[in-house]
Structure 1
Amino acid sequence: MPISVHPSVEELAALLRLPDFSEVYAQADRVRARHKGDVVQIRAILEFSNVCRRACRYCGLNCRNEKIARYRMEPDEMIEVAYAANQAGYRTIVLQSGEDPHYTPEILGEIIRKIKETGMAVTVSCGEMPREDYAYLRRCGADRYLLKHETADEQSYRALHPDGTLKERVECLRHLKALGFETGSGFMIGLPGQTMETIAKDLLLLKEIGCNMAGIGPFIPHPDTPLRDHPSGSTELTKRAVALARILLPKANLPATTSLGVLNNGEKNDVFSCGANVVMRKVTPDRYKQLYEIYPAKLSPTHVKEDRLELEEQIRALGRIPL
């Protein structure tokens, strides 16, 4: 069942509902092979602060969660971890945090400059900022920026994000794209009130913005949030959304998200056969790692070099090429 060049919400929703999705998976895998080859890009992710000013109702880092112990990494420590990741073979590091105003553009910019001396690409994921701050980070050498929109449904967005709007989020994404960032967004599967039409709108928003990256993962409830009793999102529906994203965005980088591995008993290999071409590995030091809990997950100790080698072996075992 081939997808039209400019699919409608109704067409994508109908595809998501198919009893047998195998033809779409096969098409997505062909598109991936043609545009991205058999390479799986391995990226280091450093979660440097779990302080956040936002009150997002699904996130364990939300500012109203008083049970979490907060932390901030020092710039020198962040740079040291990035250098270790580079020596272990990583070509990209993702600097991720809550929306923490402690890290001013000047502080982040200096960290980025130091890391860029290694030759690594730097992805930043620190939430919404004014356009001029994004522009400053770009001038400092930041290559990519990841800012998930989470849901393209305005009503759902308002319900989940009491201190922000979908319009503001999309405006930030457009600024990032205009400034020359490789721009990443994404969304969750399984949010309250979500329908196949909602997911279709999410996919079309990625295409409209022209995203270079898209992270699509299942919702996982956190016990210290208002959505603690909401069920987890479907791994099958997540993989269907990834496959459609690959077809709609042939050249985009699509990660096998950590949340998908959590719900799939650590197995992300299925998603590599339906369009994904990126995997991230945490390099966050152990004393902080468990505290960066957007959702609950069992995390093993961090061994930067050994973790990288283990992941390379797993990728080769799937017949892919680690990079």
Structure 2
Amino acid sequence: MAQVKLSDHPSQEELAFLLGQEDFSDVFKQADAVRREAVGDIIHIRSILEFSNYCRRQCRYCGINCKNSRIGRYRMMPEEIIATAKQAYEAGYKTIVLQSGEDPFYTPSLLGEIVSEIKKTGIIVTLSCGEMCFEDYQYLRRCGADRYLLKHETSDPDIYASLHPCGTLENRIRCLKDIKALGYETGSGFMIGLPGQTEKTISADLLLLRELACDMAGIGPFIPHPDTELRDQPAGSTQLTKRAVALARLLMPTLLLPATTALGVLSSREKENIFSCGANVVMRKVTPDTFKSLYELYPSHLGQTHILSQRKELEEEIKSLGKIPL
């Protein structure tokens, strides 16, 4: 295997050059070797509960943006959220990701009560509920939230502005810095295939992850939703997505890198492939069937939720790949 040498402080140009190589096999192999040496063969299994699809944002690529009048909206009540999280814990999940749109119904006080109750089980709680002020992030941290996931989506200010008429890249980065400063395990990430994106802008996304000292990073392909302004945009490349994941592993050897659900939508074989080029996390939805199909960031075909049996099936699938489920 040819050794891939990154400088200590790689430039956008250096990373873009690697992303554009015709044969990327050596980089994939090295990313897999770095993953094995840095974090071992463990695949972390996370449960994800999508508890509300109300959102105040107007993101032009997202199926639950507030301008989409075709979608049925829902909110899970606190007792439903807590009961589902307890089921996930009893099924063997060590982490629950509580995800929603930016829904003002769930005030920091209410979210804090939910987190505090769920933490009584001992499960690790990750929140993914959008942009907040420093004080609200601080309050939720005090209530027991362990991790916070907030993807920056793109580090290019012009692309960000074109896709987010209701927010700024500057504020998104401010939020991520606040989250990190408060001691959360901090997650960000970005999409592959956005309009105007180049290998150089993807390289900037990778460098931003390192600048922010992220602990987690979700890198997935853009998938067009028919009820959004980007409905006619082609889906992002799975190959380029895997290349970005591999480079993220080389840049940040201990990073938690999920095999994103978007990759699974595009191809049922992507889990195996992505685990061989740097990824070491997989997420499984535990959202109740009543709500599951309504949390449609992008089109997907979802089966019924069976929390316990699906956890066991995923463990066996991971073992069949020669990895250790956790």
> Could you state the TM-score of these two structures normalised by the residue count of structure 1?
0.99
**Distance in structure 2 (CA, Å) of the matches to 1:264 and 1:206:** 26
> Is 1:84 matched with 2:101?
no
1:171 match: 174
Partners of 1:232 and 1:285 lie apart in 2 by 28
1:11 to 14, 19, 30: 14
C-alpha contact (below 8 Å) 1:312/1:322 kept by paired residues: yes
2:156 counterpart residue number = 153
More off after superposition, 265-274 vs 47-56: 265-274
Whole-angstrom CA distance in 2 between matches of 1:88 and 1:251: 27
Show the counterpart of 1:317. 320
Alpha-carbon deviation of 1:266? Answer: 5.5
Secondary structure, counterpart of 1:42 in structure 2: strand
TM-score scaled by length of structure 2: 0.98
Unaligned 5+ residue runs, structure 2?
Answer: none
Letter in 1 for 2:227: D
Give the conservation status (yes or no) of the 8 Å contact 1:2–1:24: no
1:31 matched to 2:34? The reply is yes
SS in 1 for 2:49: strand
Q: Partner of 2:255 in structure 1?
A: 252
Which one of the candidate residues 136, 140, 144 is aligned to 1:141? 144
128, 131, 135: which one aligns with 2:131: 128
Cα distance in 1 for residues equivalent to 2:268 and 2:116: 38
The answer to whether residue 199 in structure 2 is matched with residue 196 in structure 1 is yes
Structure 2 match to 1:97: 100
Report the Cα distance in structure 2 between the residues aligned to 1:302 and 1:44, rounded to whole angstroms.
12
Counting matched residue pairs gives 323
Task: Determine if the alignment matches structure 1 residue 181 to structure 2 residue 184.
Answer: yes
Note the residue ranges of structure 1 that are not aligned, 5 or more in a row. Answer: none
Code of the aligned partner of 2:224? P
Given that residues 52 and 61 in structure 1 are in contact (C-alpha distance below 8 angstroms), is that contact kept between their aligned partners in structure 2? yes
- For the residue of structure 2 that corresponds to 1:122, the secondary structure is strand
Q: Give me the whole-angstrom Cα distance separating, in 2, the residues matched to 1:178 and 1:30.
A: 31
1:216-244 CA-partner distances (Å, limit 9, x unpaired):
00000000000000000000000000000
Residue in 1 that maps onto 2:24: 21
Identity of aligned residues (%): 67
Query: Retained in 2: the 8 A contact 1:315–1:322?
Result: yes
Residue identity opposite 1:134 in structure 2 = Y
Amino acid at match of 1:270: N
Give per-residue Cα distances to partners, 1:20-66, cap 9 Å, x unaligned.
01111111111100111000000000000000000000000000000
Name the amino acid aligned to 2:94.
R
Q: Tell me the SS of whatever aligns to 1:268.
A: helix
Pairwise CA RMSD of aligned residues? 0.6
3-state SS of paired residue (2:151): coil
Q: Which residue of 1 aligns with 2:301?
A: 298
Letter of the 1:54 counterpart: R
Q: Tell me, what secondary structure is at the counterpart of 2:64?
A: coil
Aligned pair partner of 2:268 in 265, 270, 274: 265
Q: Are the counterparts in 2 of residues 16 and 240 from structure 1 also a CA contact under 8 Å? A: yes
Deviation of the 1:265 alpha carbon: 3.1
CA distance in 1, matches of 2:199, 2:267: 22
Match status 1:288 vs 2:291:
yes
**Deviation beyond 3 Å, 4+ runs, structure 1:** none
Deviation at 1:264, TM superposition (A): 1.5
Checking the alignment, whether the CA contact within 8 Å between 1:221 and 1:295 is kept in structure 2 is: yes
